[in-house]
């Protein structure tokens, strides 16, 4: 008996079949009714909706057949699948090709067969629609067209089933996963909550009814520092929305949990319009991204802060210094730089060990930070050196700060073994277009302080 060759696009065909997730599925009434209707319309005792797998034929629904599946090489439906065309056998016993086919030689035999390909939406033959009889019969061209229409109906049902499964998976994700679903009234700046899914509780600590009965204004749950930005972004999106289904994703913001803690969330919303084009609701979901934000903050800390002292590093200094340089050039506002160095630090390290040296670095870093303003930036420049960037500060004011720091370190008696002192170089921006020149001048002033005997401050205005 001749066996049909698999189509050249067999891998694509099987992939299309897999996307429907119909193999080995539980019987579904919609397909079973179609199989029964096939038998009634064509007056045949057997009918099937067949899916052709890699090595088997599996019946999604059938009439008059006991088996749920059979080997692929025993399938008549493999022929229309492989050829992409209808197959009509009026009498298998009179056919040179099919007289020895397993279905023709079984007891009782299949004498009549008519099958048409079942196509996926992306035009892959995933199975067949067929009718069978124990006696020979004819099939008119009109009946064949009807059989082909049945194939289209089954394809539509399979596509609807695929969409239902996808929607159900999405619903389960929203209901049981880390995503909460909301419906807001489009009252800008308030957004009364009309619906909240059950999984709102792990994120915000409230049961859905506590937010919807009566409707609570969502803006009340947003961190005060984030409210103005969120209102502005959503106002712009709503007022500029003209498409009936406009999607919108504002910047992440913080929402208050019932316990008073704040969680970071990412909102994705659909702006819903009525038939007149008016905005009637915002449908959206919120994902808890608190852990992601924590990881981002930790990566930021590791990238921009010294792990030993907790002070900013050079990478953190670069954008701040660039900003101050641009401001000085644009507005003429001064900024100053102090470079500090721990005197005889290498000798401390060599004599008392690196742990002792690390402790000194941390202690002196804390002294510098405590004396500086929130607007100042304290940087571990490298080794035993520190840099302080002081916005809107003259060289004379910076020199006084440096003198205070030098005296505090000297008086702190940080070392049980020997006195610890620092030297400092001070300068200010004086019209340079390159901030590096200011740093170099502060470094030169520090070198001069050390050359003069250390434990002193040198100013290079």
Domain-located, residue 2: no
Closest alpha carbon to 152 in 176, 129, 122:
129
Q: Which of 59-63, 123-127, 345-349 has the lowest mean pLDDT?
A: 345-349
The whole-number pLDDT of residue 170 equals: 65
Say which residue the tokens 């397909």 belong to. Answer: 31
339 and 401 housed in the same domain:
yes
pLDDT at 100 over 90: yes
Higher pLDDT, 381 or 4: 381
Q: What percent of the chain clears pLDDT 90, i.e. is strictly above it?
A: 67
The whole-number pLDDT of residue 261 equals: 94
β-strand partners of 390: 336
Domain-located, residue 322: yes
254 and 330 housed in the same domain:
no
pLDDT at 92 over 50: yes
pLDDT at 175 over 80: no
Domain-located, residue 3: no
Domain-located, residue 330: yes
pLDDT at 168 over 80: no
Stretch (H or E) spanning 297 = helix 290-304
- 71-75, 195-199, 246-250, 345-349: which has the highest mean pLDDT? 71-75
Q: What rounded mean pLDDT belongs to the chain? A: 90
Distance CA 123, CA 126 (A): 9
The whole-number pLDDT of residue 3 equals: 54
Residue where a domain stops, chosen among 116, 132, 167: 167
**How many domains does the chain fold into?**
3
The whole-number pLDDT of residue 1 equals: 46
DSSP per-residue codes, 55-124 = SEEEEEEEES---SEEEGGG-STHHHHHHSS-EEES-GGG-TTTTTSHHHHSSSPP-EEEEEEEEPTTS-
Q: Which domain holds residue 100?
A: 10-167
390 and 417 housed in the same domain:
yes
Domain-located, residue 35: yes
Domain-located, residue 381: yes
Q: Which of 142-156, 251-265, 278-292, 315-329 has the lowest mean pLDDT?
A: 278-292
Please state, as a whole number, how many other Cβ atoms lie within 10 Å of the Cβ of residue 289.
Answer: 16
pLDDT at 326 over 80: yes
Distance CA 385, CA 387 (A): 7
Give me the mean pLDDT over the 331-348 stretch: 94
Give me the mean pLDDT over the 26-52 stretch: 95
**Nearest 5°: phi and psi at 271?**
-90, 115
194 and 136 housed in the same domain:
no
pLDDT at 176 over 70: no
The whole-number pLDDT of residue 352 equals: 84
The whole-number pLDDT of residue 41 equals: 95
- Domain harbouring 60, CATH code: 3.30.450.40
């Amino acid at each position: 008996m001749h066996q049909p060759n698999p189509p050249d696009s067999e891998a694509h065909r099987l992939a299309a079949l897999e996307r429907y997730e119909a193999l080995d599925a539980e019987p579904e009434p919609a397909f079973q009714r179609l199989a029964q209707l096939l038998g009634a319309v064509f007056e045949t005792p057997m009918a099937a909706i067949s899916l052709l797998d890699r090595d088997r034929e599996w019946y999604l629904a059938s009439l008059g057949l006991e088996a749920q599946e059979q080997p692929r090489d025993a399938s008549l439906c493999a022929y229309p699948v492989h050829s992409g065309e209808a197959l009509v056998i009026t009498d298998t016993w009179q056919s040179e090709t099919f007289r020895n086919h397993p279905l023709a030689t079984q007891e009782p035999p299949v004498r009549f067969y008519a099958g048409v390909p079942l196509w996926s939406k992306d035009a892959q033959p995933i199975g067949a629609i067929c009718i069978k009889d124990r006696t020979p019969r004819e099939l008119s061209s009109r009946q064949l067209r009807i059989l082909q229409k049945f194939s289209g109906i089954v394809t539509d049902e399979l596509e609807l089933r695929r969409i239902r499964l996808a929607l159900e998976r999405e619903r389960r994700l929203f209901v049981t996963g880390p995503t909460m679903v909301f419906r807001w009234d489009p009252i800008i700046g308030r957004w009364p909550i009309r619906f909240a899914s059950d999984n709102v509780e792990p994120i915000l600590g409230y049961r859905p009814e506590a937010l919807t009965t009566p409707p609570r204004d969502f803006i009340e749950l947003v961190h005060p520092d984030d409210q103005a930005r969120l209102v502005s972004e959503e106002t712009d999106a709503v007022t500029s929305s003209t498409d009936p289904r406009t999607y919108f994703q504002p910047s992440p913001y913080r929402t208050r949990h019932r316990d008073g803690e704040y969680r970071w969330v990412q909102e994705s919303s659909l702006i819903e319009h009525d038939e007149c084009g008016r905005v009637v609701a915002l449908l959206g979901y919120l994902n808890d991204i608190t852990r992601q934000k924590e990881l981002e903050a930790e990566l930021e800390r590791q990238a921009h802060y010294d792990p030993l002292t907790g002070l900013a590093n050079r990478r953190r200094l670069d954008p701040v210094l660039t900003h101050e340089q641009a401001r000085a050039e644009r507005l003429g506002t001064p900024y100053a730089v102090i470079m500090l160095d721990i005197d005889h630090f290498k000798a401390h390290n060599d004599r008392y060990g690196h742990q002792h040296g690390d402790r000194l670095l941390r202690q002196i870093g804390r002294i510098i930070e405590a004396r500086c303003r929130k607007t100042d930036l304290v940087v571990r420049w490298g080794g035993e050196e520190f840099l302080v960037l002081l916005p809107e500060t003259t060289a004379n004011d910076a020199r006084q700060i440096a003198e205070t720091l030098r005296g505090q370190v000297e008086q702190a008696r940080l070392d049980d073994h020997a006195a610890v002192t620092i030297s400092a170089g001070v300068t200010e921006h004086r019209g340079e277009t390159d901030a590096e020149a200011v740093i170099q001048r502060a470094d030169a002033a520090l070198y001069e302080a050390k050359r003069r005997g250390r434990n002193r401050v040198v100013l290079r205005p």
